[in-house]
Amino acid sequence: MRIGFIGAGNIGGTLARRLAKLGHQVSIANSRGPESLSALAAEIGATPVSVVDAAKAGEIVIISIPTNAVADLPRELFANVPSRVVIDTGNYHPELRDGRIDAIDQGMLDSQWVAQQIGRPVVKAFNNIFAKSLLEKGVPRGTTGRIALSVFGDSLDAKATVLRLVDDLGFDPVDGGDLANSWRQQPGTPAYCRDLEATALRRALTEAVRSRIAEYRAEEEARIRRYIAAQAAKG
């Protein structure tokens, strides 16, 4: 398939690398322009393009940027673009990175907010796996202990496309339900970044408690702070 990336950081860059290696036609973009991505594109076999061109690049567009940066995307980015499967890989980190986004703090899910900002439905995926696991732990279907990844979205066709992509990347695809349930794999929940097999992942998704969303997020941000401090102490 032809796949466009808006954002080429840890998750976006890793996905682009993996998908290009699988033979997909990958275009990558960021806020700094195509020239800033020339080296990465040459290394992984992708094409550096503008953000506008990435939105038009293929059947799938993957948005992999900080949540607060979504509001800075060009207005009407998808206005004249035919139907696309749009994947949101982002996570909202108000204290560590994004600042406060009132709508999300008042109960709107981050991916619902992203969909509202870009004027297109999104599928939530790849936000609950570390880049290192995404790069190194994909294995063939049927392999014992294969890690599972859940996917959420309102369009059954779009979600099916992403579930197939998960499988192609070497992970067991799990249909988590509609976008309104995507909070079940947000930062800090039992299903977040734990490299679980399919049965354990489904169980973890059901164990999440919606009233604890803010608590889950705060606990995860505190964990990240501790990790950063420990790494800094090591020099």
Tokens 């960021």 locate to 30
Q: How is the beta sheet containing 2-6 ordered, strand by strand? A: 47-48, 25-29, 2-6, 60-63, 85-88, 123-124, 148-152, 172-177
Cα end-to-end span (Å), the chain? 43
The mean per-residue pLDDT over the stretch 44-48 comes to 98
The mean per-residue pLDDT over the stretch 146-165 comes to 98
> Is residue 130 included in any domain, yes or no?
yes
Q: What is the pLDDT of residue 45?
A: 97
Whole-number Å distance between alpha carbons of 213 and 91: 12
Whole-number Å distance between alpha carbons of 3 and 84: 10
In the chain, what percentage of residues exceed pLDDT 90? 94
> Is residue 207 included in any domain, yes or no?
no
DSSP 126: S
> Is residue 21 included in any domain, yes or no?
no
Q: Do 53 and 78 meet the contact criterion of CB atoms below 8 Å apart? A: no
> Is residue 160 included in any domain, yes or no?
yes
Whole-number Å distance between alpha carbons of 104 and 59: 29
Q: What is the pLDDT of residue 234?
A: 87
Whole-number Å distance between alpha carbons of 82 and 88: 18
Q: Do 30 and 36 meet the contact criterion of CB atoms below 8 Å apart? A: yes
Question: 89 pLDDT exceeds 80?
Answer: yes
Burial environment of residue 11 by CB neighbours within 10 A (0 to 12, 13 to 18, 19 or more): buried
Q: What is the pTM of this model?
A: 0.96
Q: Do 151 and 123 meet the contact criterion of CB atoms below 8 Å apart? A: yes
Q: Residue 79: which CATH number?
A: 3.40.50.720
Question: How many folded domains does the chain comprise?
Answer: 1
Residue 57's pLDDT band (boundaries 50, 70, 90)? confident
Whole-number Å distance between alpha carbons of 69 and 207: 31
Q: Which long-range contacts (CB under 8 A, 24 or more apart) does 79-86 make?
A: 79/119, 81/55, 81/56, 84/55, 84/58, 84/59, 84/60, 84/120, 85/59, 85/60, 85/61, 85/123, 85/158, 85/161, 85/162, 86/60, 86/61, 86/62, 86/118, 86/120, 86/121, 86/122, 86/123, 86/158
Q: Output the CA torsion sign for 12, 211, 218, 98.
A: positive
Give residue 76's identity as a one-letter amino acid code. E
- The number of angstroms, rounded, from the C-alpha of 32 to the middle of its chain's C-alpha atoms is 20
> Is residue 100 included in any domain, yes or no?
yes
Question: 235 pLDDT exceeds 80?
Answer: no
> Is residue 38 included in any domain, yes or no?
no
Domain ranges, residue 103: 66-182
> Is residue 208 included in any domain, yes or no?
no
Q: What is the pLDDT of residue 130?
A: 97
pLDDT in tens, 94-114: 999 999 999 999 999 999 999
> Is residue 22 included in any domain, yes or no?
no
